[in-house]
């Protein structure tokens, strides 16, 4: 059998490397939402440094460029860190393919980010539900009582709800989750019109585009007079309330879709410690102290030669 020679196009610039990465199994293995985020960031990077030779990007001058890029985006630290993370992924791919000798992002410290800590109070929740239309009310209840991301809920179909639980595969992590539906959410789902395959539909009976959903959500928030809160905060609120209810880290991870290890890492960000949590801790501790006292009484009674009941 004759083997045909292959002459691939030379990979010379960052633009060439991006094209190679986007066509690779490494990129194809990522979740669809992650692919979309990467493409968006890589388009901007290609606009900035698409013509940069890999010999330059993979050298000391590349490190200088990364620091310059970080300085330019300093006012938006979260976006800056995410951009550098994507750039690092592509450069690491270039290293594995022997296109570069250095990943210029390695060793560059990330900008400090203040974790968002906003949570919905029960008063906020009731205020929104009192003015929102049926679709927006269901949106809030889904976000709060499933602890799932907005994008996954916008894709949610009726076939994924069996009357007792919602089962879905998360777009960001490809993690399968199955969430038992609480009574309040079940009532809202069972009385909601089923005018299409998707649960949440716009005024035309079509699945929401994320931007259009955000516009409608923002309008409902304004009508309710709520400020400083986002739909994304419902996920944090759900985990905070689970913490108040003494739900364990492992149990939270099963609902939110994080791995157990990852869940432990991010609980400090997602779960805001509250007075009810502290009260629960003290009550549990107090019960444990009673157990210790009873055990101590029993030991002392045995030592004294009497039964605990006689002591």
Q: Which two tokens stand for residue 76?
A: 């938006």
Give dist(CA 149, CA 171) in Å, integer.
9
pLDDT for the residue numbered 269: 65
Cα–Cα distances (Å) from 237 to 106, 138, 229, 268, in that order, read: 35, 16, 11, 13
Evaluated on CA atoms 245, 250, 255, 257, the torsion sign reads positive
String of DSSP letters for 194-234: --SSBSSB-TTSSBPPHHHHHHHHHHHHHHHT--S--TTHH
Q: Which two tokens stand for residue 63?
A: 């490190």
Count the helix, strand and coil residues of the chain and give each as a percent rounded to the nearest 5.
60, 5, 35
Token pair 């149990």 in the structure block, residue: 251
Give dist(CA 291, CA 167) in Å, integer.
41
Give dist(CA 229, CA 222) in Å, integer.
11
- Total residue count of the chain as it appears in this document: 311
What average pLDDT values come out for the chain (311 residues) when binned by 10 residues?
56 94 95 90 95 91 92 92 96 94 94 84 95 98 96 97 95 89 96 97 95 96 96 91 83 85 68 71 78 82 65 49
Q: Which two tokens stand for residue 172?
A: 């960001």
How would you class 165 by CB atoms within 10 Å of its CB: exposed for 0-12, middle for 13-18, buried for 19 or more?
A: middle
Half-sphere exposure of 134 (CA within 13 A, CB side): 13
pLDDT for the residue numbered 9: 59
The pTM (predicted TM-score) of the whole model is 0.69
The CA dihedral of 280, 283, 284, 287, to the nearest 10 degrees, is -170
3-state secondary structure 276-295: HHHHHHHHHHHHHHHHHHHH
Q: Which two tokens stand for residue 269?
A: 């960000």
Q: Look at residues 310, 244, 232, 229 and name the one whose alpha carbon lies nearest to residue 283.
A: 244
Cβ atoms of residues 231 and 139 within 8 Å: yes
- Residue 108: DSSP 8-state: P
């Amino acid at each position: 059998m004759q083997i045909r020679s292959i002459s691939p196009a030379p990979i010379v610039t960052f633009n060439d490397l991006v094209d190679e990465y986007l066509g690779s199994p490494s990129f194809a293995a990522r979740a669809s939402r992650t692919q979309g985020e990467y493409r968006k960031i890589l388009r901007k990077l290609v606009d900035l440094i698409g013509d940069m030779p890999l010999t330059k990007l993979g050298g000391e001058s590349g490190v200088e460029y990364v620091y310059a890029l970080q300085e330019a985006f300093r006012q938006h630290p979260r976006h800056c860190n995410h951009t550098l993370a994507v750039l690092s992924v592509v450069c690491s791919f270039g290293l594995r393919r022997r296109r570069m000798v250095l990943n210029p992002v390695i060793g560059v410290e990330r900008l400090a980010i203040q974790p968002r800590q906003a949570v919905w109070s029960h008063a906020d929740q009731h205020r929104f539900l009192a003015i929102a239309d049926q679709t927006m009310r269901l949106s809030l209840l889904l976000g709060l009582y499933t602890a799932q991301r907005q994008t996954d809920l916008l894709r949610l179909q009726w076939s994924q709800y069996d009357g007792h639980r919602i089962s879905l595969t998360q777009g960001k992590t490809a993690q399968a989750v199955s969430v038992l539906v609480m009574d309040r959410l079940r009532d809202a789902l069972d009385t909601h019109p089923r005018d299409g395959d998707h649960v949440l539909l716009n005024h035309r009976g079509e699945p929401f585009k994320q931007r259009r959903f955000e516009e409608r959500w923002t309008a409902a928030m304004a009508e309710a007079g709520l400020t400083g809160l986002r739909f994304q905060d419902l996920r944090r609120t759900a985990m905070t309330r689970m913490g108040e209810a003494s739900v364990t880290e492992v149990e939270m991870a099963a609902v939110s879709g994080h791995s157990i290890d990852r869940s432990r890492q991010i609980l400090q960000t997602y779960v805001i410690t509250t007075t009810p949590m502290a009260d629960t801790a003290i009550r549990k501790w107090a019960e444990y102290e009673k157990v210790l006292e009873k055990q101590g009484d029993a030991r002392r009674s045995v030592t004294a030669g009497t039964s605990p009941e006689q002591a």
